[in-house]
Copies of this chain bind each other. A is one copy, B any other.
């Protein structure tokens, strides 16, 4: 860590840069009430909705923390909670209308940053980067 940059730090630097850009862009697009912690949970919501407990597990936080963040997201109109048809005890957290619009906005920003990276690296190496990272995911993504 204190010298010839290990692979972990090397991964972190561009990640942080991407995150910062997305948040700046979202804020500029009218989604300023969106914190990094909220986003980490929000990102994990499945297309049809997810249970709170699942979200917590996937985001690597306790269900208490997840509940706290989902409360905020709900208050801001990014998500909504609906009963889970498959399990009477549970409720599904789903992306609400405003949430869907923010996803659309972030998609554009991500594409923009990826385009910059592609310009710097060249299309071939950018593609390689994504391919290698996808492979790495098999042994580093605990949940799928």
B139 lies within 8 A of A117 (CB): yes
Check A29 for interface membership: any CB of B closer than 8 A. Answer: no
Taking A18-B11, A116-B139, A137-B13 as contacts, is the C-beta distance between A6 and B110 under 8 angstroms?
Answer: yes
B14 lies within 8 A of A133 (CB): yes
Cβ of A122 to closest chain B Cβ, rounded Å: 9
Number of interface residues of A (CB under 8 A): 51
For A12, the chain B residues whose CB sits under 8 A away are 11, 15
For A13, the chain B residues whose CB sits under 8 A away are 133, 136-137, 140-141
For A15, the chain B residues whose CB sits under 8 A away are 8, 11-12, 15
Partner of A117, one of B1, B136, B142: B136
Q: How many copies does the complex hold?
A: 2
Check A128 for interface membership: any CB of B closer than 8 A. Answer: yes
**Hey, which bits of chain A sit against chain B, CB under 8 A?**
1-3, 5-19, 22, 39, 42-43, 45, 47, 60, 95, 103, 106-107, 110, 113-114, 116-117, 120-121, 125, 128-130, 132-142
Beyond contacts A13-B137, A129-B133, A129-B136: 19 other A-B pairs, Cβ-Cβ < 8 A, are: A1-B107, A2-B43, A2-B47, A5-B134, A8-B18, A10-B130, A10-B133, A13-B133, A13-B140, A13-B141, A14-B136, A14-B137, A15-B15, A16-B60, A17-B139, A117-B139, A120-B139, A125-B132, A132-B132
